[in-house]
Structure 1
């Protein structure tokens, strides 16, 4: 018996499993010379399965079955692929192998598969791996309860849940397709990526194990610990932390959120470039920026906006709009004062560390707008070449030909300081060559001029003003029926001006003024305008939509 088994092994090793079938072949009788010989069909050797080794073999031969069962350190070879297992059965008629125990397929030393069981269709070179199925190449390890692998195309699929490990990245999904030639893996349903630097969740994802680039194919959430990205299209380099997203992605952190038609973001620098209809918001300070192009640095909390940028400062009842050629906003660290620091030190000395993890700073935001700046709110409008605003003192500083309009009053000066509370005008300072103008009628102008003018607001309307230094006044006097009766021109050191509902109500002179009264029709034309007079109503923003659609 032992000799017969040994002889069978030698024969199998020498001529292969299919060789046994051809050993009994007998040449046909010679045909007449005048007949055409039939040329045998060439055998496809790439499909031929050869047994390399096995400790024992059992042959099963019937009219319909030609099967051999091999046990112990079994190894088969097909082309350049090797299949090893603990035991296997081979059907020569169908060219199918069933294998059990420590099943391993080595394809060209490039792709390896492992499983507890295997059904291998040799003619199609299709492998169905069951039980602890695993596929590895030079980059990844893919595991699943069941895995189908095509040795022709090097494509593997699973539909009962799978996990891919690539370095420190772990990707899981309900379904997946592995492409060995391109090193792409297509994940479908319940896709989760866990990496030391981020987590990702989606329904569909394409991932390349060489470049470590994840191609976004469905609504996806990426969280890198500092910011969260909500994206639907584009790609994310999981190794570098660089993403390029389209179709209105949104990025947010603890205080800021922004969206645009397209966003490029780099985790290493904290810089994101937003293109097309960008909307950026500082949710903590209620500040928003609209623009067609923006650069956001989330590390230092800055935003630079160009291409029709508009900033919105949200108040309780009103919103202030600021537009310009370029807007830039950043934060000013606000350090604790000495008294607070001393209190913290005393608390720590007592052993109370309950607040030691809190930040030592509270950020305050500033704004710089320059070139063709426009300001609009329901109660106040303005223009300037450049504007600086800081939430530390809540002051707008307007430079180079600045103009403000409050109700029907035009306010100008070399520099204008607008003090606000809760995004509402509280007071203002017209510094040098200060001038207030309103128009009671066509080509008629009430004017108040001084070195500086300090004004106060009440209910978001001008309430009173103090004119300091060389105060000059021209105003039109009307009777109770609003008919014009005279024009007064006065000169005084200081003047107080009072308004009612935003309209000029009365003027009080601190010292006796030099006054000249002209009948309404008799004032010389050259006396009707103060030196430095300018009426720039054409520059006044008419609505917030003018700023947004500038």
Structure 2
């Protein structure tokens, strides 16, 4: 009993000496140094004083606890260099800074004067929400900044970020990642070289070329911010979004992955690689879920074809993708009825085939046109109108296009204007509405509505419905004209081959000799007219069903008979090049001229 009391007294003296040794230097430095730098001993199972390299060290073994200001240090054992104010701790390290930051590891080197802690071996830092870990962590107690430079990761909920270097700012909850940055989330992955991430807002600030991949779409960007929790992002510097069939790029893109909406501002380029369609605009809205795109500021659509690319512009352009088995496109409905096949009783006195070399002038004052050859050529029959040419079992996606107001199209073989256009790849028909006018090889085609059928990405057939009119300039102020209730034209290659005029067919055309001198003007009325072209030029005209015609010698043609009713020549509205549609050529869209009648002449 007496021996134990002596041992306790001895240990008490040692501890008292140590404590006095700590307190006295600390008291002497209070006027010079911050007292918060002093490392206080709270507890330890054992205490030894050792000397290493002439330096006196205090060794604490078993359940050691230390305190500096508002920070507690826990470990299995530790060495303290009082002269340098350095703590080296071993085993089950736990640093608790004001119950806000907790740091763990198996080894700690702590500089008490600079308040910088370096932890190794399963080192990790947490603020009770995130975990920052790596083979080595450095934490500045004063600045409250955690750093790793030998690789590490941050876990924030379901998101895991890894990089070669990382800097955690405890006060702002920002983490700066550098070199080989990878963010893995159950819904996407993000790869970059530099990233700023806020652990509270979960907003990633893009600072270098970055790729975001959710398995369906891929985003490429170099600057902007992305909310990793909500999927909302704002990206600058020409970001790009792409999926299996389409890509979108613009000066700036704002997106929401939950709704699938992306808003593109400034030089937007949307490309459907499957349909070979490109849409340019200064502003566009893209729905990545429904695969729709709406362009409202100077939009231009480019439809790529093997031999002839079509350019289409309007005030507003809209395009969407749907499955073939989810919609049925109704057949083209016209005011009249177009028969599937043409059947006509041909009699010699009811059909005339007029050619430049087949005219005989009976008398100088005669108005009759008599063909030299009354034989009739076999007439080709119009094709049946079939609105749905797709396979009944085809479930692949199709795209449709809608354009509103001031529509203008240009291709090498066809140009046109209209108020609105609808196109669907389900039936491959362009539908032009409200005062549409098309030009094919300088031949003007117009009607209340126009339906352009395409096949294998080329024009195949055209239907002019109601108030149909064909005009081609024969010479200065001279126009070959054909009108009827309905006009159906058929293409061979990229040129018109022949046209079928059905119902109240009328025509005015000029006959020229081999030297291109005008001989006469012919005006004819017939139930049906067929017009044939060769190399894009009018070759001959065939009249079927009760034709009535008048031929005027060219010099004696009545001025009031030179134009058909509702004649209009809109060549100034015709787009001249694709650059005009792109905006390189600024041309004010003119109003269509007032319709002229026979009474105006």
TM-score (norm 1): 0.90
1:50 is matched with which residue: 34, 40, 50?
Answer: 40
2:62 is matched with which residue: 68, 72, 75?
Answer: 72
Q: Separation in 1 of the partners of 2:310 and 2:140?
A: 64
Q: Separation in 1 of the partners of 2:113 and 2:229?
A: 40
Alignment of 1:374-389 (within 5 A): 374-389=408-423
Residue in 2 that maps onto 1:543: 577
Q: Separation in 1 of the partners of 2:15 and 2:241?
A: 69
Which shifted more, 429-438 or 503-512?
A: 503-512
Q: 1:12 to 1:367 in 2, by over 3 A?
A: farther
8 Å CA contact 2:238, 2:249 repeated in 1 = yes
1:454-489 per-position Cα deviation (integer Å, ceiling 9, x unaligned): 100111101100111111111111100111121111
Q: Separation in 2 of the partners of 1:217 and 1:120?
A: 33
Alignment of 1:148-167 (within 5 A): 148-167=138-157
8 Å CA contact 1:466, 1:496 repeated in 2 = yes
Aligned pair 1:277/2:267, yes or no? Answer: yes
Q: Separation in 2 of the partners of 1:302 and 1:40?
A: 71
Residue in 1 that maps onto 2:16: 11
Aligned pair 1:106/2:96, yes or no? Answer: yes
Q: 1:63 offset after TM fit, Å? A: 11
Q: Separation in 2 of the partners of 1:294 and 1:72?
A: 68
Root-mean-square deviation (CA, aligned residues, Å) is: 2.1
Q: 1:422 offset after TM fit, Å? A: 2.5
* Number of positions where the alignment pairs a residue of Structure 1 with one of Structure 2: 514
1:335 is matched with which residue: 325, 341, 363?
Answer: 325
Q: 1:423 offset after TM fit, Å? A: 2.4
Q: Separation in 2 of the partners of 1:12 and 1:299?
A: 75
Q: 1:80 to 1:16 in 2, by over 3 A?
A: farther
Q: Separation in 2 of the partners of 1:160 and 1:537?
A: 72
Aligned pair 1:518/2:552, yes or no? Answer: yes
Q: 1:431 to 1:12 in 2, by over 3 A?
A: farther
Q: Separation in 2 of the partners of 1:62 and 1:265?
A: 63
2:428 is matched with which residue: 381, 394, 397?
Answer: 394
In structure 2, stretches of 5+ residues that fail to align are 1-5, 328-392, 587-601
8 Å CA contact 2:310, 2:409 repeated in 1 = yes
Residue in 2 that maps onto 1:527: 561
Q: Separation in 2 of the partners of 1:69 and 1:46?
A: 22
Q: 1:446 to 1:87 in 2, by over 3 A?
A: same
Aligned pair 1:419/2:453, yes or no? Answer: yes
Q: 1:144 to 1:314 in 2, by over 3 A?
A: same
Q: Separation in 2 of the partners of 1:433 and 1:502?
A: 23
Q: 1:532 offset after TM fit, Å? A: 0.3
Which shifted more, 188-197 or 515-524?
A: 515-524
Q: Separation in 2 of the partners of 1:304 and 1:191?
A: 35
Aligned pair 1:210/2:200, yes or no? Answer: yes
Alignment of 1:436-515 (within 5 A): 436-515=470-549
Q: Separation in 2 of the partners of 1:477 and 1:170?
A: 82
Q: Separation in 1 of the partners of 2:184 and 2:520?
A: 82
Residue in 2 that maps onto 1:344: none
Q: 1:21 offset after TM fit, Å? A: 4.9
Q: 1:510 to 1:62 in 2, by over 3 A?
A: closer
Q: Per the alignment, in what secondary structure is the counterpart of residue 324 of structure 2?
A: coil
Q: Separation in 2 of the partners of 1:183 and 1:6?
A: 46
Q: Per the alignment, in what secondary structure is the counterpart of residue 418 of structure 1?
A: strand
Residue in 2 that maps onto 1:184: 174
Q: Separation in 2 of the partners of 1:69 and 1:464?
A: 106
1:351-393 per-position Cα deviation (integer Å, ceiling 9, x unaligned): xxxxxxxx98321111110100001111000100000111111
8 Å CA contact 2:521, 2:557 repeated in 1 = yes
Q: Separation in 2 of the partners of 1:260 and 1:150?
A: 42
In structure 1, stretches of 5+ residues that fail to align are 26-38, 338-358
Q: Separation in 2 of the partners of 1:111 and 1:5?
A: 39
Aligned pair 1:195/2:185, yes or no? Answer: yes
Q: Separation in 2 of the partners of 1:363 and 1:416?
A: 26
1:307-364 per-position Cα deviation (integer Å, ceiling 9, x unaligned): 0111122111111111100011112321299xxxxxxxxxxxxxxxxxxxxx983211
Q: 1:213 to 1:526 in 2, by over 3 A?
A: same
Q: 1:501 to 1:170 in 2, by over 3 A?
A: same
Which shifted more, 503-512 or 287-296?
A: 503-512
Alignment of 1:229-244 (within 5 A): 229-244=219-234
Q: 1:453 offset after TM fit, Å? A: 0.5
Q: 1:362 to 1:477 in 2, by over 3 A?
A: same
Which shifted more, 279-288 or 167-176?
A: 279-288
Residue in 1 that maps onto 2:215: 225
Q: Separation in 1 of the partners of 2:274 and 2:91?
A: 61
Q: 1:255 offset after TM fit, Å? A: 1.4
Higher relative contact order (CA 8 A, sep 6+): 2
8 Å CA contact 2:134, 2:148 repeated in 1 = yes
Alignment of 1:314-353 (within 5 A): 314-335=304-325
TM-score (norm 2): 0.82
